[in-house]
């Protein structure tokens, strides 16, 4: 059971980092689909483009912080060791931060998607509306919440195993 939990913990760390990187790439290229709204659209599409730019900047900044938190988890060696007290604290900080911010994005993304679908694209020739990036953001942010909560649960379980074996609360760093 010990090895199974540790392998699960390791897998969850790497999965979280992979989702963080996927979110980074998504928000890095988020606005690419919508440049036509700026150049070829109406004043209404231009105003929407500017609003979407603000959202994208915030979401991109969060994705960078998510990656940094993922690297902190690696720094504590949670991909190969059971957490000590400070590692467990890092897990909870990362879980709370990632989950709360992902929930915020999950609440905002549908509003932007609906506003996008409500725009009139008839003046734009050959423009095909696409909501792929909105949908991908919803899916990835949902996966982020699930993975971070699962990771926190598994980290607590491996931490308890560590204590049952009589190992110290604080793991040696070197």
- What global pTM score does this model have? 0.88
Backbone angles phi, psi at 119, to 5 degrees: -70, 155
Range of the domain at 16: 2-164
The reply to whether 170 falls in a domain is no
Percent of the chain with pLDDT strictly greater than 70: 96
The reply to whether 149 falls in a domain is yes
Torsion of CA 11, 14, 19, 25, to 10 degrees: -150
The reply to whether 48 falls in a domain is yes
Instruction: Please state, as a whole number, how many other Cβ atoms lie within 10 Å of the Cβ of residue 135.
Output: 12
Q: How confident is the model over 107-118, as a mean pLDDT? A: 94
Based on the structure, what is the number of domains in the chain? 1
Report how far residue 94's alpha carbon sits from residue 173's, in angstroms, rounded to the nearest whole number.
Answer: 20
The reply to whether 172 falls in a domain is no
The reply to whether 108 falls in a domain is yes
């Amino acid at each position: 059971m010990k090895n199974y939990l540790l392998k699960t913990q390791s897998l969850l760390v790497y999965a979280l980092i992979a989702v963080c990187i996927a979110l980074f790439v998504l928000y890095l290229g988020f606005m690419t689909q919508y440049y036509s709204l700026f150049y070829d659209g109406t004043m209404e599409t231009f105003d929407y483009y500017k609003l979407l730019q603000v959202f994208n900047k915030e979401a991109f900044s969060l994705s960078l912080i998510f990656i940094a938190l993922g690297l902190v988890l690696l720094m504590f060696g949670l991909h190969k060791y059971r957490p000590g007290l400070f590692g467990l604290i890092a897990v909870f900080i990362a879980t709370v931060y990632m989950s709360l911010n992902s929930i915020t994005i999950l609440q905002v993304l549908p509003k932007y998607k609906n506003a996008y679908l409500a725009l009139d694209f008839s003046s734009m020739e050959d423009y095909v509306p696409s909501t792929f990036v909105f949908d991908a953001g919803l899916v990835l942010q949902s996966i982020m919440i699930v993975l971070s909560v699962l990771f926190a649960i598994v980290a607590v379980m491996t931490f308890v195993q560590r204590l049952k074996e009589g190992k110290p609360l604080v793991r040696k760093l070197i």
